[in-house]
Structure 1
Amino acid sequence: MGAEIELAEDEAASIFSTPKIRARLHLDGRSIAAFRDTLTWGRERLFTLFHEGMPADSLVHARAHLVDEVLREAWLKFLPENPQGLAMIAVGGYGRGELLPHSDIDILLLHEPGALEQYRQSLEQLTAFGWDIGLEVGQSVRTVDDCRQQADGDITVMTNMMEARPLIGDMRLYSAMQTAIAPDKLWPADEFYRAKRDEQAARHKKYDDTGYKLEPNVKEGPGGLRDIHTVGWVAKRHFGARNLIELRDRGFLTKQECDELFAGQDFLWRVRFSLHMITGRREDRLLFDHQIKVAALFGYVDSDRNRAVEQFMQLYYRTIKSLSCLNDVLLQLFDEAILHAEVREEPKALNPRFEVRRNFIEVRSEDVFKQHPHALIEIFLLMQQNPKIEGIRASTLRLILRDARLINDTVRQDVRARSLFIEMFREGRGLTRNLRRMNRYNVLGSYLPAFGQIIGLMQYDLFHTLTVDEHTLYVLRNARRFAMKRFRDEFPFCSDVMDRLTKPEVLYLGAFFHDMAKGRGGDHSELGGQEAEEFCLNHGLSHGDAAIVSWLVKNHLLMSLTAQKQDITDPKVISDFARKIADRSKLDYLFLLTCADIRGTNPALWNSWRESLLVNLYNATARALERGLHNPVNEAEMVAEQRSRALTLVAAKGVDPQQAKEVWARFENDYFLRHTPEELAWHLPEILSSTEEKLPLVLVEPLADRGTTVFIYTRDRDHLFGLTTGVLARLGLNILDARLNTTDDGYTLDSYMVMEGDGSPIDGAHRYDEIRDALRKVLSDPDISIVDVNRRTSHKLKHFNTPTTIYFSQDQARKRTILELVTADQPGLLSMIGRVFQKRGILLDAAKIGTIGERAEDVFFITDRMHRPLLDEKVIEELREVITRTLNRTEAN
C-alpha cells in the first residue's frame, strides 16, 4: 500500500483503534448484536467528529478502517484466516481506503478453480451475516482469469481492479491478479489514458459540460470527485504512482497543485459526508432538499445581501471551478507525456511572445507574463484569431495560473491590455470559448474585478438555473449563435435581425454586462449600465456606442416584461413601448439580447409561445417606429385591418362575407385585436355552424410555432374561467395565456394558449380529443361549480417560501383594473383565482400567465359586473385580502 494509505490508516487508528474494534466485535462470541452495535457506535463517532471539524479525509479513511476490521472479523467467524485458494479483496473506492457513511462497499471474492465449492456453505453464511448486521456489501466472485478477461473488455472493471486492496485470505491470488492486469498485459498506458479521457468527456457531456447546475452532482459532475479520481487512475497506470503525493515527489505535480487537489477533495468529501448524514443513505446530488441543511452544517448564516445557502453554493462552485482548471492542466500534461512523448515538432512563432506546437499555443519563455502582463489577455485573442489552435500547452497553463495575480490596476489601465480585450469582442469568432477559458483560468475575474464578484454566485430559486458568471457566458454564446451561419436554422428570425446590426460587438458587450452588478444590492440593471458605459469609454468605444451598451444593460428586462406582463395587442401598449425604444437600431439590439437572455436563464422558459410574443412585440414596435411616434396606430384602424384580412381568408373557405359581418357585429373590438386574422378565420365557420344544442363549442388546434390554442364559444356562466383552468390543470397542462371576451348578447369567446406540463408541445389527435372532451363534459354541466385539481406540488417547490404579493393599477384607456399577482406556484392556482373572482363579482377580461421557476407571476385585467374598473379602495383591499388568504391557506395544506 502507498504512503498515503498508510498515513490514512494511522489517522484512522487514532479514531478507531484496531484492538478496541476487535474487543467490541468479540462480545458475545462475535454475535450479530455486537457487530451491529459496533457499526452504530462507529457511525455516531464519525458524525460527532464531523461536527467537531475533523478533516473529511480522516473521516473517510476511518470509516474504511472500521469496515476493514468488521469484514475481517466476520470472515474469521465462518472461514479460516488463510484458506487455500480464496481471498477477500477491497475494490473501487473502498479499495482506495475511502468510505463515506453510506458509500458502496465493493469487495471481490477471488478464488482458484474448485475452491469456491469447497467453501460455498461458509461463504453463504458470511453473506447472510453481512445483511443481518446491516452492512450492505457489493460482491463479485471471480478467478484471476475471470478478472483478466473482464478487465480486458471493460475499462470500468479495469479501473476497479487497479484500486484493489487485500483484506484477508490467500495473498498469492492478489499478487497473481495484479500481475494479470499489469500494463504490459492489459490496457497499456496510452490506451488507458485515451479511454479515461473519453470516459470523462462523455460524463461531462451528460451534465451539459458544466458543474454549475442548480442541483449539482458532487461526485460525477464536472469538477467533482470523479475528475480527481481520473487524474489518480492515469497516474497509477502510466507512472506506477500509488497516489498524487508520488506525482508531486516526481515533479509532475507542483506542491501548489497537489495542495489544491487535496483541499478540493477534502471539501467535496465533506459535502458528500453532509449529504449522507442528512439523508441517511448514499446521496451524491446537492438537491434543493439538502442545500440549506448542508450550508448550516458548514456554518453559514444569512446576511443582508446573500442567504447562507447562496454563500455556501458560491464556495462550492468556486471549488469545482478550481478543480476543473487543475484537471485541464494535468490531463494536458498526461496527453503530452503519454501520447506525444516521442514527438519532436519544431514550434511555429506567432509573435515575439507566443508560438504554436502541435496546434497548441505556448509561451516562448517562462517570464513572458511577468515581463508583459498584458500577454495574459493576448494569448486568448490569438486563439480567437487562429481557430486551428486547439488549446494551451500545460506548461503555459501553469504559468497563467501562477501569474494571473499580476493583473493589477496598472495592467487594467494599460492601453495594450484594453485594446486586446476589446478586440476580442470585435473579433467575434471564438469569443465565448475564449472568455470561458479566461474565466476558468482566473484571468477574466482578475482583469474585471466586477466579473470576479459574480463567479460562482447563484440565486436560490428555480428560475436561474446557472451561476451568474455561467449564465452571462451562456447569454453571450446565444448572441453569438445568431451571427453564425451553421446555427441559422435555430432561430431564423433572430439571425435575420442580427444581419442588420452594424456593430455586433455592441450586442456582445450588452450581453456581457447585463447581470454584472448582481449580488451587490440595489438595482443591478442601473448599476451595471453605469459600469458598462465607463468600461466602454475606457476601452476606446465612441460615446454613442457606449451609450447604447449602457442603455441595453439598464433596459435588458424591458422587452421581456412588456411581452409577458402587458397586453401587447393594445395599440397604446405598443405606442408606449415604442417611445421607450425610440429607434429601430435599439429595438434590434434589445430584441436579440432579450431572446439570448431568456434562453440563457432557464432552457425551460424558452418555447415557441415566448418566441412568438417577442416577435409580435418586435414587429408591432417596428411598424410603430416606421409610422413615427407622432402618428400612432389607433384602435379602430387596427380592427378594420384585422377584419379585412380575415374576410379575405373566410371568403376563400366559401363563407358569405355578409354572414361574417353579422356575426362579428356582436363582438367587441378586443376580440379582433387579440387574435390574428388566421385565428378569426378559423373561429368563424365553427361559430356559424354551432347551434345552442351543440354548445359549448370547444376547438383545440396547434398554431404554427406558438403552441396549442384551446378556443371556447358558449353562453356565459358563473365561474367559467375557474372551471376551464381547473380542467386544463387537472389534465397536466400549463396555461401560457388567456384571452377572454364576452359578447353583448351573453356569449363568451375564450382562448387559452397551452403546453404540456413539462413545456413540450401537445402532440397527437388523441390528446386533442382528451382536452376537448374533458372541457365539454364540465362546461356543459350546469351543476358543476368546482373542479378539484388533484395534482401534487413538486417536491422542489416545497423548499421555497414565496409570499403572496398583489399590486393594483388602472388601465385608463381600456377602462379596466390591472391586478398583478406574485405567489408560490401550485397546481390549480388559476382555478382558485377564478373562484375568488366569481364570488366577489369580478369579471376577467384577459390574463397573462407567467411561471418563473417556483413563482407564479400572473397579470389579470379585471372589471366589476358592470364592466367598470375597480376604483373603490375598500373593494380593492378586500379583494387583495381574500386572494392572499385563499392562496396562503392552500399553500399551507
Structure 2
Amino acid sequence: MTAVTRSLSKVNAAFRNDPDANQMFMEILCAKESPDLTLRDMNECGLLGKFVPDFGRVVAQMQYDMYHVYTTDEHTIRAIGILNKIERGLLTEEHPVACKVIHQIQSRNVLYVATLLHDIAKGRGGDHSELGAKVARKLCPRLGMNEAETDTVAWLVLHHLAMSMTATKRDLEDPKTITDFVALVQSPERLRLLLCLTVVDIKAVGPNVWNNWKATLLRDLFYRAEEVMAGASASEGRILRAAAAKTRLADRLLEDGWDQADIDAHLKRGGKGYFLALDLDTLAHHARLVRGAERHRDELTLDTRVDEEKSVTELTVYCLDHPGLFARLSGAIALAGATVVDAKISTLKDGMALDTFLIQDAEGGTFSRPDRLARLSAMVKQSLAGEIRPLDELMKRAKVSLPSRTRVFTVPPRVLIDNRASATHTVIEVNGRDRPGLLYRITSALVEQRLQIAIAKISTYGEQVVDVFYVKDTFGLKVEHAGRLDQIRQALRYALLEAEAQTAPPPTKHARKALAKKTAKRAANPKAQAAE
C-alpha cells in the first residue's frame, strides 16, 4: 500500500488512457468474487481516485443529513459489494427477485460500471444524476465499453432514482403510473438492470434503511412493469387482477364458513382499487372486521396487527367516513408517539371508511408494546370523538419535549403539484423537515382546502419527509384551475412554515411573517378552526 501511494505520480493522463490499464481496472471492478475489497484498498491508498479523477472528487465526501450513513465513496464501494453478493446468491432470502433477475442480464459489466458511477457527480452544485450521466458518457469509452453499453450506463446513472421514487411516491394501482414508468424504461433489460441498481443503492445507504416494506413496493412495481412489457395493458391487467383478487377472497371466506349471500354482499362493498391495494390475508381480515362491526352495530372499530417481517404495525380503522377523518387519525397517531410509513385509504360504496395505516416507533421498528397500543387506541377514540384537539396537544408537547436531532438540519419546504401523473387525481408532493405531527398539519391544510384524500404515500429520509397525496376536489374531480392550485400550494407552505416555527428555534423573519399571515387567516375563518 505504501509503495502504491509513493508511485501515484506515475498515474498520469497517458496511464489513464492506456487500454491495458483500463482493461485491468474493469477486471477488478467486475471480478466474480468480492471486488469491493480490492476497490477499497485502491481507494485507501489513493489509486482509485487517481485513476478515475471524477471518483476522486467524492472520496471522503460527507453527506450532511440523517439518511446517509457513509461518505459517497464508501457508499459506492459498499453498493458494489452488495451487488456482487446478490450475483453470487448470498442474499437470496433478503433479495429474491434481484438474485433471480441479475442472471438474466445481458451485460453484467454495464451494471457494475453504473453502480460505480451512479453518485459520482454528487456535490457539484447541480442534479447529480444529470451530471453523472455526462461523466459516464465520457468515461465509459475509455473503459473499453462500446456505444450501446455507454448509452445504457448513462441512462442508468441518469434514472437511478426513478424506480425507488415511483415505488414510494406514486400509486402503483393507477394504470398511468405503470404506463409512464414503462415508457421511461422501455425494455426488459433496462428494467432488470434498474431493479438491481435500485436495490443495492438503497441497501448501501445505511444499516436500517432497507426494509421489507420497500422491498414489497419495488417487487410489485417490477412485476407490473414486466407484465405490461409482455403485452398486457395496464388497465386490462388491473381488471384481471381485481377479479382474481375477488375470487381468491371469496374462496377464502367460503373456507372460513361464510355463506354465499354474505360473501356477495361483502364483495359489492369495495371497488377494484380496494381489492388490488391489499393482500389476501388483509382482505380476509378486513372482511371479518366489517362483518363483526355490522353485526354489533359498532360505530368505530379499531384493530392492530404486528408484522415483524416488514417491521411495521398495521392499524385498521372502520367507521363512517367524513371530511377530515384522515387528518384526525394522523393527529391521534402522532400523539401516541408513532410515525406513519404508509397509508391506504378506502371509502366503501356504503359510505364507510376502511383505512389502513402502517406505523412504526421512533426507532423504525414495530409499534407493538401493549401500553403503546393501548394509548394509540385511546388517542384515536378521543380524537374522533372531538375530546382532544391534536394541534393543541402537539404544540404543548413541542414546548416541553427534548429537542429532536432533526432540528440541526434545514430542509427547505417544498410543495409540488402534478396533474400529469394520474388521469383521475391531482398528485401533491410535500417536502419538509420531519417533526412530530407534521402529517397531521399537512392533512389538516388539505381538509381546509376542501380536498378529498384518496391515497397517501408517506416516506421519511432521515430528517426529510416526502409525503405524496392523490386528491380530488369536493365534486370528485382533479384540481386544474391555476388560481386554485396556487391557493393549495400556499396553504401547504404555510402549514410547513408554521410547524417549523413552533418546533425549530429561532424562527426566521420569513417564517414569522408567514405564521402571522396564517394566524390572521385562521382568526378570520371560523370554519378553518372548526376543521381542527
Q: 1:675 aligned to 2:273? A: no
Tell me the CA shift for residue 763 of structure 1.
3.9
Distance 1:638 1:890 in 2: 41
Q: Residue 149 of structure 2: which of 539, 542, 545 is its match?
A: 545
Match in the other structure for 1:775: 380
Q: Which 5+ residue runs of structure 2 have no aligned equivalent?
A: 503-532
Q: Residue 359 of structure 2: which of 754, 772, 793 is its match?
A: 754
Give the AA of the match of 1:694. D
Q: 1:688 aligned to 2:291? A: yes
Cα offsets for 1:44-76 (capped at 9, x unmatched): xxxxxxxxxxxxxxxxxxxxxxxxxxxxxxxxx
The 1:614–1:631 alpha-carbon spacing in structure 2 relative to 1, beyond 3 Å, is closer
Distance 2:49 2:421 in 1: 48
Match in the other structure for 1:865: 474
Distance 1:513 1:741 in 2: 42
Tell me the CA shift for residue 427 of structure 1.
2.0
The alignment-based identity, stated in percent, is: 27
Q: Which has the higher contact order (CA 8 A, sep 6+)?
A: 2
Match in the other structure for 2:447: 838
Cα offsets for 1:692-730 (capped at 9, x unmatched): 642311121134743322111101234211221112122
Give the AA of the match of 1:559. M
The 1:545–1:658 alpha-carbon spacing in structure 2 relative to 1, beyond 3 Å, is farther
The 1:814–1:637 alpha-carbon spacing in structure 2 relative to 1, beyond 3 Å, is farther
Tell me the CA shift for residue 650 of structure 1.
1.8
Match in the other structure for 2:103: 499
**Other structure's SS at 2:345 match:** strand
**Other structure's SS at 1:603 match:** coil
The 1:485–1:565 alpha-carbon spacing in structure 2 relative to 1, beyond 3 Å, is closer
The 1:864–1:682 alpha-carbon spacing in structure 2 relative to 1, beyond 3 Å, is same
**Other structure's SS at 1:741 match:** coil
Tell me the CA shift for residue 407 of structure 1.
0.2
Match in the other structure for 1:855: 464
Q: Which 5+ residue runs of structure 1 have no aligned equivalent?
A: 1-396
**Other structure's SS at 2:411 match:** coil
Give the AA of the match of 1:666. R
Distance 1:430 1:638 in 2: 41
Distance 1:612 1:522 in 2: 31
Tell me the CA shift for residue 420 of structure 1.
0.7
Tell me the CA shift for residue 879 of structure 1.
2.3
2:305–2:313 CA contact under 8 A, matched in 1: yes
1:609–1:705 CA contact under 8 A, matched in 2: no
Distance 2:114 2:345 in 1: 38
Q: Residue 558 of structure 1: which of 162, 172, 175 is its match?
A: 162
TM-score, normalised with respect to structure 2:
0.87
Match in the other structure for 1:824: 433
Tell me the CA shift for residue 681 of structure 1.
1.6
Give the AA of the match of 2:327. G
Cα offsets for 1:64-116 (capped at 9, x unmatched): xxxxxxxxxxxxxxxxxxxxxxxxxxxxxxxxxxxxxxxxxxxxxxxxxxxxx
Match in the other structure for 1:803: 412
Number of matched pairs = 495
Q: Residue 247 of structure 2: which of 632, 644, 654 is its match?
A: 644
Distance 2:113 2:13 in 1: 21
2:335–2:379 CA contact under 8 A, matched in 1: no
Tell me the CA shift for residue 802 of structure 1.
1.9
**Other structure's SS at 1:849 match:** strand
Give the AA of the match of 1:657. Q
Q: How does 1:61-460 map to 2 (within 5 A)?
A: 397-460=1-64
Tell me the CA shift for residue 777 of structure 1.
4.5
Distance 2:24 2:36 in 1: 15
**Other structure's SS at 1:560 match:** helix
Give the AA of the match of 1:515. D
Q: Residue 199 of structure 2: which of 595, 600, 613 is its match?
A: 595
Match in the other structure for 2:486: 877
Tell me the CA shift for residue 591 of structure 1.
0.8
Q: How does 1:572-587 map to 2 (within 5 A)?
A: 572-587=176-191
Q: Residue 727 of structure 1: which of 332, 348, 370 is its match?
A: 332
Give the AA of the match of 2:246. R
Tell me the CA shift for residue 417 of structure 1.
0.6
Cα offsets for 1:656-691 (capped at 9, x unmatched): 233222233232332123222332122112101213
**Other structure's SS at 2:453 match:** strand
Give the AA of the match of 2:484. V
Distance 2:244 2:194 in 1: 28
**Other structure's SS at 2:367 match:** coil
The 1:745–1:510 alpha-carbon spacing in structure 2 relative to 1, beyond 3 Å, is same
1:815–1:868 CA contact under 8 A, matched in 2: yes
Tell me the CA shift for residue 806 of structure 1.
1.0
Q: How does 1:485-524 map to 2 (within 5 A)?
A: 485-524=89-128
Cα offsets for 1:467-522 (capped at 9, x unmatched): 21111112112212212344444433332233333443322211100011122233
1:793–1:826 CA contact under 8 A, matched in 2: no
Tell me the CA shift for residue 526 of structure 1.
2.3
Give the AA of the match of 1:654. G
**Other structure's SS at 1:871 match:** coil
Match in the other structure for 1:716: 321
Tell me the CA shift for residue 439 of structure 1.
0.6
**Other structure's SS at 2:454 match:** strand
Tell me the CA shift for residue 606 of structure 1.
1.6
Give the AA of the match of 1:890. A
Match in the other structure for 1:329: none
Q: 1:633 aligned to 2:236? A: yes
The 1:491–1:769 alpha-carbon spacing in structure 2 relative to 1, beyond 3 Å, is farther
Tell me the CA shift for residue 811 of structure 1.
5.4
The 1:634–1:491 alpha-carbon spacing in structure 2 relative to 1, beyond 3 Å, is closer
Distance 2:323 2:89 in 1: 53
**Other structure's SS at 2:410 match:** coil
Distance 2:219 2:410 in 1: 34
Match in the other structure for 1:741: 346
Tell me the CA shift for residue 773 of structure 1.
4.6
TM-score, normalised with respect to structure 1:
0.53
**Other structure's SS at 1:427 match:** coil
Q: Residue 264 of structure 2: which of 658, 661, 679 is its match?
A: 661
Give the AA of the match of 1:649. R
Tell me the CA shift for residue 872 of structure 1.
2.8
Distance 1:806 1:508 in 2: 35
2:80–2:112 CA contact under 8 A, matched in 1: yes
Give the AA of the match of 1:821. V
The 1:798–1:767 alpha-carbon spacing in structure 2 relative to 1, beyond 3 Å, is closer
The 1:872–1:656 alpha-carbon spacing in structure 2 relative to 1, beyond 3 Å, is same
Match in the other structure for 1:312: none
Give the AA of the match of 2:328. L
The 1:793–1:550 alpha-carbon spacing in structure 2 relative to 1, beyond 3 Å, is farther
Distance 1:853 1:704 in 2: 22
**Other structure's SS at 1:714 match:** strand
**Other structure's SS at 1:689 match:** helix
Match in the other structure for 1:477: 81
The 1:545–1:794 alpha-carbon spacing in structure 2 relative to 1, beyond 3 Å, is farther
The 1:414–1:501 alpha-carbon spacing in structure 2 relative to 1, beyond 3 Å, is same
Give the AA of the match of 2:143. H
> In terms of mean alpha carbon deviation, does 501-510 or 546-555 score higher?
501-510
**Other structure's SS at 2:314 match:** strand
Match in the other structure for 1:467: 71
Tell me the CA shift for residue 453 of structure 1.
0.9
